[in-house]
């Protein structure tokens, strides 16, 4: 805290501070390597606990959560929210300590190309284990909810993310990166295969587009994918790396001709919501998660040829782009962080009151009863 890396952080910050404003005692477990200042013990009303993690891709999340669970067992909470099914091995400890827990299942992590065969098998196992040992499951997209219903016969609480509605803003910082409002294409993503940045770059290079393609993002762990992207680019493609200045990032979204969204496995994506909240017309990779958000306001691609065609259409029809941008802002208004917080608050009350019941089924699925708000103070650990 403050959030600067991904969707989970953003959700914890937005929901956590709202729960704190409503009188709840909220504890957030932070990784020391990701925290700007581990001496900071409180942020926006949330109590912060900084703990270390092993700096290896396969162990970072699991090691930090293990320490967090150990810390929590000695201090207690009325409700616990665990983000990421990868943390499933620690769930039995919470259950044995009678700490009710909901697990945010994220997207289909085993589909991510960064994981080898062992990692993919682990995530498939972790899904099953989380279904078995969570009091409740959280899905942020209907497609994720449907996956757990079909695969495990397991119910989930459908709680999406919120979208910040950004007022139209004058481009104050664009010149510092050599850009002019409305005169560039934009990609914002971690440089990982399932985000299809290479597909966007390859397709754009095949097109006759005149405006530059701006790529914002970095590789969280070293591998050759970013080099593959750079080798596919030509002089029209500009790489900005990671942009941590939120004001500049918002300007980039709000002033792009079109935003290209290649994410394919992560459910409802906060970058997409931020883009449409800024009024950016969006071309997205053609999967159900993206169609669920954009509907008819989006244009969709599956391969470089689709990207080339859409890039040329975007520059040839600026009036249509403006119309799609207005439609995007209307869609973003449906993703309200206050409503999202209502969902988490109701879920935490239900966890605390033990009104969520486990289903026997095939011995590995949980069904969550409908949650309702109860007027009482609670302590939430995330």
What whole-number distance in Å separates Cα of residue 214 and Cα of residue 217? 10
**C-alpha pair distances (Å), 91 with each of 8, 23, 43, 46, 375:** 18, 27, 27, 23, 27
What whole-number distance in Å separates Cα of residue 145 and Cα of residue 137? 9
Q: Which residues contact 222 (CB under 8 A, 6 or more apart)?
A: none
pLDDT at 364: 40
What whole-number distance in Å separates Cα of residue 86 and Cα of residue 74? 23
Phi and psi dihedrals of 62, rounded to 5? -65, -40
Q: Global pTM?
A: 0.81
pLDDT at 375: 33
pLDDT at 356: 66
Token pair recorded at residue 147: 């996956």
What whole-number distance in Å separates Cα of residue 365 and Cα of residue 151? 10
Q: Is the Cβ–Cβ distance between 33 and 53 less than 8 Å?
A: yes
β-partners of residue 185 are 213, 258
Q: What is the pLDDT along the chain (382 residues), one digit of tens a residue?
A: 887 766 788 899 999 999 999 999 999 999 886 555 667 889 999 999 999 888 776 688 889 999 999 999 988 899 999 998 889 999 999 999 999 999 998 766 656 666 678 778 888 888 999 999 999 999 988 888 988 898 889 999 999 899 888 877 678 889 999 999 999 999 999 888 889 999 999 999 999 999 999 999 887 655 688 888 999 999 999 999 888 888 899 999 999 999 999 998 777 888 899 999 999 999 999 998 899 999 999 999 999 999 999 999 999 998 889 999 999 999 999 999 999 999 999 999 999 988 765 433 343 433 333 343 333 445 666 6
pLDDT at 237: 97
pLDDT at 370: 38
Exposure string for 19-49, b = 16+ CB within 10 A, e = fewer? bbeeebbbbbbbbeebbeebeeeebbbbbbb
Interval 187-208: pLDDT, tens: 999 888 889 999 999 999 999 9
């Amino acid at each position: 805290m403050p959030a600067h890396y991904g969707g989970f952080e953003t959700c914890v910050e937005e929901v956590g501070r709202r729960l704190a404003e409503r009188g709840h005692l909220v504890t957030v477990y932070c990784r020391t390597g990701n925290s700007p200042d581990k001496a900071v013990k409180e942020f926006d009303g949330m109590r912060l606990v900084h703990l270390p993690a092993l700096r290896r891709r396969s162990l970072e999340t699991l090691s930090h959560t293990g320490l967090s669970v150990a810390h929590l067992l000695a201090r207690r909470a009325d409700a616990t929210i665990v983000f990421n099914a990868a943390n499933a091995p620690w769930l039995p400890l919470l259950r044995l300590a009678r700490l009710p827990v909901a697990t945010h299942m994220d997207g289909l992590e085993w589909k991510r190309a960064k994981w080898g065969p062992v990692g993919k098998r682990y995530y498939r196992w972790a899904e099953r284990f989380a279904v078995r040992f969570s009091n409740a499951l959280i899905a942020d997209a209907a497609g994720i909810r449907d996956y757990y219903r079909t695969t495990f016969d397991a119910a989930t609480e459908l709680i999406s993310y919120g979208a910040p509605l950004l007022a139209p803003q004058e481009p104050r910082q664009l010149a510092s990166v050599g850009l002019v409002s409305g005169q560039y294409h934009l990609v914002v993503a971690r440089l990982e295969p399932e985000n299809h940045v290479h597909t966007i770059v390859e397709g754009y290079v095949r097109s006759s587009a005149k405006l530059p393609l701006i790529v914002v993002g970095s590789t969280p762990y070293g591998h050759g994918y970013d080099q593959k992207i750079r080798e596919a680019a030509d002089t029209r493609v500009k790489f900005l790396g990671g942009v941590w200045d939120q004001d500049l990032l918002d300007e980039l979204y709000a002033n792009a001709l079109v935003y290209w969204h290649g994410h394919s496995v992560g459910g409802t994506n906060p970058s997409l919501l931020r883009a449409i909240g800024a009024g950016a017309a969006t071309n997205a990779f053609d999967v159900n998660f993206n169609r669920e958000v954009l509907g008819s306001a989006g244009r969709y691609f599956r391969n470089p040829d689709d990207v080339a065609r859409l890039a040329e259409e975007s520059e040839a029809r600026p009036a249509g782009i403006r119309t799609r941008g207005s439609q995007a802002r209307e869609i973003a208004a449906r993703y309200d962080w206050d409503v999202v917080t209502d969902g988490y608050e109701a879920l935490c009350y239900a966890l605390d009151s033990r009104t969520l019941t486990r289903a026997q089924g095939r011995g590995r699925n949980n069904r969550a009863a409908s949650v309702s708000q109860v007027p009482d103070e609670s302590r939430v650990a995330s």
